[in-house]
Amino acid sequence: MASEYEIIERFVFEKMKESGIPGMSIALIKDGKVVYSKGFGFRDVEYGKPATPETIYGIGSVTKSFTALAIMKLVEMGKLSVDDPVDKYVGINIRPKGEKIKIWHLLTHSSGIPALGYAEALIDAIAYGEGLITPIASPEDVISFMTDAEKWAVSKPGERFFYLNEGYVLLGKIISVVSGMSYEDFVRKYILMPLNMKRTYFRREEVQNDPNVATPYVYKDGKLEKGAFPYGITADGGILSNVMDLSRYVLMYLNEGSLDGYEVISKEYIKEMTEPRIKLPYELFGDEFYGYGLSIYPRFPIGTLIGHSGSVLVYTAYMGFIPKKKIGVILLANASGYPLSQMGMYALMALAGENPEKLPFVRYERTLKELEGVYRAYKSTIMFKVKVEGGFLVLESRRRYSGMNMILVPEIVEDERVLCYTLQYGRKIYAEFIKRGDHIELIYERYKLIKE
């Protein structure tokens, strides 16, 4: 019988291979210690250097949890309140629907302002080396960029979740103004140093001096190429680290603010961070929320899951932990590909001794994958090829001159039956896959076809 680690390794390797992730590192935590850590694939493809648990990657928006923790540290120190208006500390006069934005609105992405896209534009230009550079190199530039954002508001503050990178840049500026030191120095002094996270970085020169750094990669026209990390603004997604350092960070949360006898922050403020605040508009298990810099999944099968994903295209990341089970996971990769959050959920299920194949997204993916192949009608008069792309099925006609590809949207996904639909000139056309013993039938429009 395979161990939980073998089960996790098989899944990780499978998804890395399917989506083309060159290198990845993982660490698993259980009962107060790291019980497993490993690197997979290449930290550098050109030179054949393997990824290890010590390899440095950009952690993307996992950084937001550090920013939220720093804000809560300032609250604990009595230097600010989450109910303070943002314009008390930052020279920005934005009032969505006529109301002031408070610090907690930024922490929960509920300012009422939809994503303004500064980070996406900057990452695209730097990572891919294409397009114009967005002229934003400092929090002050972001403030200037946001001057007209009030007109972009959709709701009042506190009403609705809109993921806003710019909001976390403002939080970083607030930390700097209130503490009298840079955002980076505050995080280093009050979080990194107490947790002994000695190889967690903010600046290019720090990374260049480290001998074990993952080369960042992107796919251009299906070809793997070197990308570039967007150094500069850090509070919304600029930290670089490794799974061993981040294990200490996760252990601090599992220990309610303390590690190795040192209290980074009192447990009441960890509780504040992990309290469900704003409902997320997308759901995987149901009733999912955002707290302060952390996502909360109360209906995860083995207990409330708390964590955060991160992506700057050339690096992706996930950290997650389940306080009830005292387990956690950290994954870092040097390209975009299969969601590391889903790899992390799979790993947590296996680590807890549960069957991770029962997770809804795994069953969904496995079921659709079984449908891939060539389908033939009566005496092979008509042929279609079915393949999975991005959670959809694509139906490719084998007719040379009159065929066209159709995107099939799964509507019902069951073990023995999958019902999909596509649109033709505004009409809904169904495609039904039925498993009968050892073969699969496809009923599409006027045709019945059988998979080879």
CA dihedral 39, 41, 44, 48 (to 10 degrees): 110
This prediction has a pTM of 0.95
Residues whose CB is less than 8 angstroms from the CB of residue 270 and which lie 6 or more positions away in sequence, other chains included = 253, 256, 257
Q: Name which of 155, 152, 178 is nearest 166 in CA terms.
A: 152
Residue reference for tokens 């079984």: 370
Structural domain spans, the chain: 4-354, 366-451
Structure tokens at 252: 């601090």
Structure tokens at 144: 């200037």
How far is Cα 388 from Cα 403, in angstroms, rounded to an integer?
A: 19
Domain 366-451 has CATH 2.40.128.210: yes
pLDDT at 258: 97
pLDDT at 357: 96
Find residue 24's DSSP bridge partners.
40, 333
How far is Cα 240 from Cα 271, in angstroms, rounded to an integer?
A: 26
**Which CATH architecture group holds 4-354?**
3-Layer(aba) Sandwich (3.40)
- Average pLDDT per 10 consecutive residues for the chain, totaling 452 residues: 92 96 98 97 98 98 98 98 97 92 98 94 84 85 92 95 97 98 98 98 97 96 92 96 98 97 97 98 94 98 98 97 98 97 98 96 95 95 92 85 81 95 92 93 95 94
pLDDT at 403: 63
Residue 53, φ and ψ in degrees, nearest 5: -65, -20
How far is Cα 263 from Cα 445, in angstroms, rounded to an integer?
A: 65
pLDDT at 405: 87
How far is Cα 395 from Cα 406, in angstroms, rounded to an integer?
A: 5
pLDDT at 416: 94
Q: How far apart are the first and last CA of the chain?
A: 33
How far is Cα 158 from Cα 112, in angstroms, rounded to an integer?
A: 7
Contact 27, 244 (CB under 8 A): yes
pLDDT at 32: 95
Written in H, E and C, the secondary structure of the chain is CCCHHHHHHHHHHHHHHHHCCCEEEEEEEECCEEEEEEEEEEEECCCCEECCCCCEEECHHHHHHHHHHHHHHHHHCCCCCCCCEHHHCCCCCCCHHHCCCEHHHHHCCCCCCCCCCHHHHHHHHHHHCCCCCCCCCCHHHHHHHCCCHHHHCCCCCCCCCCCCHHHHHHHHHHHHHHHCCCHHHHHHHHHHCCCCCCCCECCHHHHHCCCCECCCEEEECCEEEECCCCCCCCCCCCCEECHHHHHHHHHHHHCCCEECCEECCCHHHHHHHCCCCEECCCCCCCCCEECCCCEEECCCCCCCEEEEEEECCCCEEEEEEECCCCEEEEEEECCCCCCHHHHHHHHHHHHCCCCHHHCHHHHHHHHHHHCCEEEECHHHCCEEEEEEECCEEEEEECCCCCCCCEEEEEEEECCCEEEEEEEECCEEEEEEEEEECCEEEEEECCEEEEEC
Q: Name which of 217, 244, 240, 212 is nearest 49 in CA terms.
A: 212
Residues whose CB is less than 8 angstroms from the CB of residue 406 and which lie 6 or more positions away in sequence, other chains included = 394, 395, 397, 422, 424
How far is Cα 394 from Cα 33, in angstroms, rounded to an integer?
A: 45
How far is Cα 136 from Cα 293, in angstroms, rounded to an integer?
A: 23
